[in-house]
Amino acid sequence: MSDFDLFVIGAGSGGVRAARIAAAHGAKVAVAEEYRIGGTCVIRGCVPKKLLVYGAHFAEDLNDAAMFGWDIKQCQFDWPVLRDNVLAEVDRLEGLYRQTLTNHGVTIFEERAVLTGPKSVRLASGREISADRILIATGARPHMPAIDGIEHALSSNEVFLLDQLPKRVVIAGGGYIANEFAGIFHQFGSQVTIVNRTDVILRGYDEQIRDRLLQISITKGIQFRFNAAFDRIEKREDGSLKLSMTGCDDLDADAVLFATGRVPNAQGLGLEEAGVTLGDNGQVKVNERAQTNVPSIFAIGDVTDRVQLTPVAIREGQAFADREFGNIDRTVDYSAIPSAVFSHPPLAGVGLTEGQARNKLGSVRVYTSDFRPMKNVLAGRNERSLYKLVVDEATDEVVGIHMIGPDSPELLQVAAVAVKAKLKKADFDATVALHPSMAEELVLMK
Ligand code: NDP
């Protein structure tokens, strides 16, 4: 008899979902978490980031308000107020996650757990626990390169806790976090420079959409240094940073944020000792049923380094628990996963980019709508949105939708249903426009 039917290591989005559903199916479940319940997304990722994005949007909205007749005097931004309100909201959500687990009868150990065998773990306090199945849901951590002075740099873990806003911030990387925080800091008044090792931002997104973000960002005043690398970071006596670079001039900054990808949290967990095979990036290798090469050990979410997105980890956790404890044969469908970058303006995409579609399908039709949103016109904001449909010439199926502009993630979630359902361009054409809206462009492209 084992102590538990399921022992989950890591109480992030995926681990919590798996634990809750397994318990709802009648399993005896425990979760170990060494930091805070909720994981990266809730504690130091998607949720606090999105709240900062909302906060940052006020800068443009308040500016634009004048053309809509509002006379707003003494407009000032107070970072500690926003920071503390966001952190309080994170505390509230952590409480809800904890409640969800306890309401389902899940035992929570708030300490580190490491594997001691295929069916056993040891807690940091020394207690040994046995379980029929063990689920690794430990997520990933920011990749921090081994350069001199890296200890002076921030990662996305600390960026939410700043005492004050930096006047000059340099961001390493050209991906999600770099572009999202460039927008946030810029709106709050910091001078922002993005430094990337190549000249491509947001690799994987549609090229035209990425180019539009780059143009808009440059027009707003965000600076870019491409094909550049950090040699050394030095802290001066006044607290400022000297960044020695290769590929561009040295830079001065008050803060430097590294956003150069994430590393699976698979080391020091006793995985190798338990016989679990790890991949080249240190990720836990699993089959389509989230099972490692050790039959009793499973893994989901970022630690498996497949699709590093919260809703995917949640689906993997749900499918694992349904399969293993609910007798429901469920697997995760990784096709047509919508994603978004909460930059200023945000962008979003689902399905094949134009380039991917041309490579895969050969003949494709591409429809674009390049327009200035009505609100921007009245506000005098010269910022254009771009929507794009990628259609398979042979079948008329819409295989990709890509957008940049206000609220594009909100619109794309709905549009993703059409791609998932393999709707045709003719179905878009047959849908009456909802006027006046930005989304109507999706059914008006000729
Ligand atoms: P990304 O993978 O988005 O971007 C990494 C960037 O860093 C790229 O520009 C890449 O350059 C560069 N890079 C990669 N490795 C190195 C290295 N060794 N040295 C220097 N530069 C390097 O990572 P992020 O850190 O921005 O985000 C991590 C993950 O978190 C994302 O992949 C995403 O899955 C998730 N996330 C999702 C969000 C969302 O859904 N809105 C928001 C934030 C994070 P290049 O491409 O030119 O090679």
161-165 contacts at long range (C-beta below 8 A, 24 or more positions apart): 161/83, 161/87, 162/79, 162/83, 162/255, 164/79, 164/80, 165/79, 165/189, 165/190
Is residue 155 within 6 Å of ligand 1 at its C-beta?
A: no
| Ligand 1 atom index nearest CA of 173 | 7
Comparing C-alpha atoms, which of 175, 180, 229 is closest to residue 200? 175
pLDDT one-digit tens code per residue, 170-197: 999 999 999 999 999 999 999 999 999 9
User: pLDDT tens digit string along 9-21?
Assistant: 999 999 999 999 9
- Candidate of 260, 283, 343, 344 to mutate for ligand 1, largest count of ligand atoms within 8 Å of Cβ: 260
The CB of 139 under 6 Å from ligand 1? The reply is: no
Minimal CA–CA distance to 7: which of 26, 44, 25, 32?
A: 32
- In angstroms, what is the span from residue 115 Cα to ligand 1's centroid? 30
Please, what is the average pLDDT of the chain?
97
Q: Which of 57, 143, 186, 435 does the annotation list as catalytic?
A: 435
**CA-CA distance, 171 to 148, in Å (whole number)?**
17
Q: Which atom of ligand 1 is nearest to the CA of 259?
A: 25
**What confidence tier does 113 reach under pLDDT thresholds 50, 70, 90?**
very high
Contact 47 CB / ligand 1 (< 6 Å): no
pLDDT tens-digit readout, 293-347: 999 999 999 999 999 999 999 999 999 999 999 999 999 999 999 999 999 999 9
- Give me ligand 1 centre to Cα 134, in Å: 29
Residue 240 CA to ligand 1 center (angstroms) comes to: 26
- Answer left, alpha or beta for residue 146, where phi above 0 means left and psi between -120 and 50 means alpha: beta
For residue range 428-446, what is the model confidence (pLDDT) as tens digits?
999 999 999 999 999 999 9
Tell how far the Cα of 103 is from the centroid of ligand 1, in angstroms.
Answer: 36
For residue 117, pLDDT over 90 is answered with yes
Single out the residue of 2, 11, 50 nearest to residue 136, CA to CA.
11
Spacing, Cα 179 to ligand 1 middle (Å)? 10
Picking from 138, 101, 133, 103, the residue whose alpha carbon sits closest to that of residue 120 is: 133
Q: Residue 135 has what pLDDT?
A: 98
Which residue lies with its CA nearest to atom 21 of ligand 1? 260
Per-residue burial over 311-341, b = 16 or more CB atoms within 10 Å of its CB, e = otherwise: ebbbbbbbbbbbbbbbeeeeebeeebbbbbb
**Nearest protein Cα to ligand 1, atom 34:** 308
Task: Name the closest-CA residue to atom 36, ligand 1.
Answer: 176
Distance 235 CA to ligand 1 centre (A): 25
Q: What pLDDT score does 21 carry?
A: 98
Whether the pLDDT of residue 57 is over 90: the answer is: yes
Do 245 and 230 touch, CB atoms closer than 8 A? Answer: yes
Give the C-alpha separation, 409 to 54, whole Å: 13
- Hey, whose CA ends up nearest to atom 23 of ligand 1? 261
As a whole-number percent, the residues of the chain with pLDDT over 90 amount to 99
Nearest CA to ligand 1 atom 47: 198
Residue type, 122: R
Residue 434 confidence (pLDDT)? 98
Top mutation candidate among 49, 197, 303 for ligand 1, by most atoms within 8 Å of CB:
197
Which pLDDT band holds residue 425 (cuts at 50, 70, 90)?
Answer: very high
Q: For a pocket test of ligand 1, which of 159, 176, 265 has the largest count of ligand atoms closer than 8 A to its C-beta? A: 176
- Predicted confidence at residue 51, as pLDDT, reads 98
Shortest-distance atom of ligand 1 to CA 229: 20
| Structural domains in the chain, sorted by start | 4-142+263-326 (3.50.50.60), 150-260 (3.50.50.60), 345-443 (3.30.390.30)
Burial (CB count <10 Å: 0-12, 13-18, 19+), residue 94: middle
Q: Quick one: average pLDDT of 379-401?
A: 97
Kindly state the tokens that stand for 427: 């179905």
Q: What is the mean pLDDT of residues 53-67?
A: 96
**Per-residue pLDDT at 193:** 98
Active site residue 435: yes
> Which tens digit of pLDDT belongs to each residue from 209-221?
999 999 999 999 9
Res. 74: pLDDT tops 90: no
198: exposed, middle or buried (Cβ count in 10 Å: 0-12, 13-18, 19+): exposed
Q: 337: Cβ below 6 Å to ligand 1?
A: no
| Ligand 1 neighbour 50 (Cβ under 6 A) | no
Helix H or strand E encompassing 115? strand 113-117
pLDDT band (50, 70, 90) for residue 367: very high
Residues 6 or more apart in contact with residue 392 via CB below 8 angstroms:
357, 361, 363, 364, 399
